[in-house]
Amino acid sequence: MMSMLQRLVLHCTATPEGREVTSDEIRAWHTDPVSKGGRGWKQVGYTDMIHLDGSVERLVNNNEDANVDPWEITNGAKGYNSTSRHVVYVGGLSKDCKTPKDTRTAAQLESMERYVKDFRRKFPDVAIVGHNELAAKACPSFNVPKWLQEIGIK
């Protein structure tokens, strides 16, 4: 059974500023058994990942329509996954790994803006939110409504 797409949720990997993350690492963090240090999820948490150099890597295939098919569901925000698409940027923590921080590089900022604007063109009625608007978390370590306003998205 599929659901209508209702939101794009922005995330950070909660890794220190300047440290790259691979898709294999993300998959391990999310899908490895708890006994091996993972979360034991069936699926990774994000559809796409924005690397430090601004490149966008597809983690879970989707058919780019306004429905969330069962095979497209990622585990980004508990209680919202069947109606959301999730995108993550690499970073979100200060170098000490303790303090939430907007660590987006210039390339990530440019790439995320392009990603979000392209998404808005395709799905004008779908909300764009930060993970912190759905759960008591710092992620994505920046104020999404304010940033959307800055880049001209209402």
Q: Where are the domains of the chain?
A: 3-149
* pLDDT at position 154 over 90: no
Residue pLDDT, tens place only, 121-150: 999 999 999 999 999 999 999 999 999 999
Between 3.40.718.10, 3.40.50.1100, 3.40.50.300, 3.40.80.10, what CATH number should domain 3-149 receive? Answer: 3.40.80.10
Instruction: Report the predicted TM-score, pTM, of the whole model to 2 decimal places.
Output: 0.96
- 60 band by pLDDT with thresholds 50, 70 and 90: very high
> Quick check: helix, strand or coil at residue 58?
strand
| Torsion sign over Cα 11, 150, 8, 111 | negative
Which of 108, 109, 100 lies closest to 136, judged by CA? 100
